[in-house]
Structure 1
Amino acid sequence: MQPYDHNVIMQKPLSELIADELKRKIWNEEIQFGERLLETELAESYDVSRSTIREALKILESEELVVSQARKGTYVADFTDQDVNEMIELRTLIESHAFMQAMTRLESEHTKKLEEIVGKMKEKADENDWNGLFDLDMQFHSYVVGLCGNSRIIKIYDSLQVQIRTFLMHLDRYYSSPQSFYAEHKQLLEALVSNDVHTVNGRVREHIEYVETKLLGQKNDIKFKEV
């Protein structure tokens, strides 16, 4: 690995930039669930001090993406069946409510922004770029939640971003193609614009529950642990 470029415009502290890159490696499955993260190796890889790596790992630990075990080290978190169930339930509760609230506040500028995100999703679908699609999925849902008008809901949802993105990395196996994933978001946008409460609620629940619930049936393949 090439030394980390210290000349990057420092919009974030170096530890945050490294934490972001480690997240990306986990989502790309370059780093596996349960894998040990060694401070010394990471410090050498990124050409930074161990204290910087320690700070980056603390960020990931606060986001529940890694766990530290006394006298054993730091590991990428394994997720249990209960973790999956709780995430699906919480997403369904938050997003079904937030989408319906956002629908009443949707203006032309918001629709234009969402159309732009969905348009980019089509490009990523055509490129067969699942990671790009999942990043845009997060943008789409976060933008809609941000329109709900409830600052506490928005704050809670923001705190879940890393965990939600981690679950998304496994969903490609449940779609027939990237185009079907893109089409689902196009339908979500159409439901929002329709101003039909029942359609919006149904689309959101189907999007979150129907596909993600399948994760539970495949937990051994993706290394989820039983509680």
Structure 2
Amino acid sequence: MASSSGNGGTEGDDRVLRAPSLVSLAAQSIRNRILAGGFQPGERLFEERLTDELAISRPPLREALRLLENEGLVTSQPRRGAFVATLTDQDVYEILTLRSALERMAFELGIPVADPALLAPAEAALEKMEEHAAAGDRGALVQDGYDFHSRLIKIARHGRLEAIYASVQQQLLLCMSRNLLARERFYEDLEEHAARHRGLLELVRAGDVRAALAELESHGERSFEEARPPRGKE
């Protein structure tokens, strides 16, 4: 039997909750700022400024930046430091057309949804979207949006499709962030953005594959206005 520890937990008890590390907290803070547009593509991430803003020392900050580099949100340059990752127009075109093709395939295979329980993960992600939209948390909303779409495609019950979708996760997040910022400046606020996702889910739930595909196409056009063929591919 495990003995009690001084902090009220038990040794070897996997149920004991552990506080997030400084590294994970710093990474999440920087990640949210990148996705919310607080740091622009190509912007240098100055260590001295970040240590002051996050109230941490350089070792955990550098570890956090390495984590974000592994995720594809940050790049590093020898003797220059860390920078927010930049996507070219070709990158955006390829990522977003791939996303559209994968989601269309999932809808064609998965609607009508055989088991209503398959929609529960997407519903949970959407509820988070609505909460963060109401709170005005753009960075969290971008991550929620990715979670919603990645869970919605589970209706296809196609593991390889899900794996391909996950393989471009961070690049998709950057694209979503870039386009959400552009839309909000002109005509769509965060709650309207979440409401569009609610409408898409309800069409999938209704089981009308034609209506759901039509909304998915419209959803994609409004979401990713920059997904145009690069010059020479039109």
TM range (shorter): 0.7 to 0.9
CA distance in 2, matches of 1:135, 1:77: 17
The aligned amino acid for 1:42 is L
User: Offset at 1:110?
Assistant: 3.6
1:32 aligns with 2:44: no
CA distance in 2, matches of 1:131, 1:55: 21
Q: 1:90 aligns with which of 63, 81, 98?
A: 98
The aligned amino acid for 2:38 is E
Q: Give me the CA root mean square deviation.
A: 3.2
Q: Which runs of 5 or more residues in structure 1 are unaligned? A: 1-8, 217-227
Corresponding residue pairs, total: 209
Q: What residue number does 2:212 align with?
A: 200
Q: What residue number does 2:171 align with?
A: 163
Q: 2:146 aligns with which of 113, 135, 138?
A: 138
1:1-227 counterparts in 2 under 5 A? 10=18, 13-112=21-120, 114-115=122-123, 117-118=125-126, 121-122=129-130, 130-131=138-139, 133-169=141-177, 170-171=179-180, 172-173=184-185, 175-214=187-226
User: Offset at 1:162?
Assistant: 2.6
Larger Rg over CA atoms:
2
The aligned amino acid for 1:192 is V
The aligned amino acid for 1:80 is T
CA distance in 1, matches of 2:51, 2:43: 17
Q: Tell me the SS of whatever aligns to 2:156.
A: coil
User: Offset at 1:116?
Assistant: 5.1
CA distance in 1, matches of 2:58, 2:90: 34
CA distance in 1, matches of 2:112, 2:20: 35
Identity %: 32
**What are the superposed Cα offsets for residues 80-126 of structure 1, whole Å, 9 maximum, x if unpaired?**
11121112111111111123333354423344554455455555555
Q: Which runs of 5 or more residues in structure 2 are unaligned? A: 1-16, 229-234
Q: Which moved more, 1:139-148 or 1:88-97?
A: 139-148
- CA gap of 1:106–1:142, structure 2 versus 1, over 3 A, is farther
After the TM superposition, list the runs of 4 or more consecutive aligned residues in structure 1 that deviate by more than 6 angstroms: none
CA distance in 2, matches of 1:126, 1:84: 28
The aligned amino acid for 1:148 is A
Q: Tell me the SS of whatever aligns to 2:103.
A: helix
Q: Tell me the SS of whatever aligns to 2:214.
A: helix
CA distance in 1, matches of 2:113, 2:28: 32
CA distance in 2, matches of 1:156, 1:127: 32
**What are the superposed Cα offsets for residues 1-40 of structure 1, whole Å, 9 maximum, x if unpaired?**
xxxxxxxx64655433322221111122322222212334
The aligned amino acid for 2:193 is F
TM-score normalised by structure 2 residue count:
0.71
TM-score normalised by structure 1 residue count:
0.73
Q: What residue number does 1:220 align with?
A: none
